[in-house]
A = this chain, B = another copy of it.
Amino acid sequence: MSGLRAPGATVMEARRVTVQDVETAAGRLQGHARETPVLTCGTLDELAGRRLYFKCENLQKSGSFKFRGAYNAISKLVSSTNQKPPPVVTHSSGNHACALALAAHQLDVTAHVVMPRNAPQCKKETVRGYGGKVYECTPTEQARVETMERIAAEEGAVYLSSSQHPDIIAGQGTMGLELLRQVPDLDAVITCVGGGGMLAGVSTVMKSLNPHVRVYGAEPELANDAATSLAKGERCPLSYYPDTIADGLRINMGPVAWPYIRDNVDDIITVTEEEIKNAMTLIWQRMKLVVEPSGVVGVAAALSDSFKAREETAKHVAVILSGGNLDLLKLPDLLSMSEHV
């Protein structure tokens, strides 16, 4: 059920991830991934009108939550064979590339990573620093997939998608298990949604173990395919690459994640670019955390008027700060010096 699957292929055969799969993943991650801290901030509570609990996946190994899924998937691959495990391959311009390279390094597996030529140089160096093999390609979806397929064939490598894979989704779900332990009387949780792996995994845990917890996705207005999909009841991918500063959320929600989101998620909150910049500024200045633009989209949602109107009663809301990888020299362009700060 894992193995090579091109992103566009049908996924009807994919077994639905259960909370037991997530618990098994948590066992694999024990001692390897971090149980990231949950922090709070009085200033943000005042702005939100309730208590917010920030799950700091920017402090996760490799700098984002992606390490959870990558480690779970490779660890399962390793334990499923008595022989030398096969190499893995993916295509990614960002956090999944770094996470897969680090997890593979720790599990003594070779990672092949296809990266668009225009991906940030620092990300390519991070992947190489973890021992990953980088293949540069033309920055189009087609070139990425073709290059990945060629390497998968040549190297006998197993393709691990950044979000459209059950073992990846189960790994990301472990954040949900931790949140249920770490946050008292949790009423709602907000995660950002790009491909949808994190939202699929976390919502599966909540709806299985504590179904009264409301689960929200958050995405930029400019990349609102998940919101449109949930409203229409069918997946509505964008046909273009949206120009949001939340670069990790430019991709469409994928077909494997969609059924979980359709069935488990209460609503998708969209936020403007200005709201994302305001949230960045607050998190950096008030919480002293380095979080990338995609990583604060859930914060922007928690502070938005639409969330306040949608959730009048929730007192304890968890927000996942998904990652902290960005080019620090670009920071002044990403901040909004508003009256909040």
Contacts and interface: CB of A to CB of B under 8 A. Distances in A.
Secondary structure class of chain A's binding surface, majority of residues: helix
A84 to B, nearest CB: 25
A122 interface: yes
Interface in A307-341: 324, 328-329, 331-332, 335, 337, 341
A284 B290 contact: yes
Contacts of A288: 58-59, 63, 289-291, 324
A181 to B, nearest CB: 16
Contact of A59 (B39, B122, B331, B337): B39
Contacts of A287: 59
Contacts of A337: 329
Contact of A332 (B42, B59, B329): B329
Interface residues of A, number: 24
Contacts of A324: 288
A20 B331 CA distance: 45
A285 interface: yes
A37 interface: yes
Interface string A61-72: 101000000000
Interface of A: 37, 39, 42, 58-59, 61, 63, 122, 281, 284-285, 287-291, 324, 328-329, 331-332, 335, 337, 341
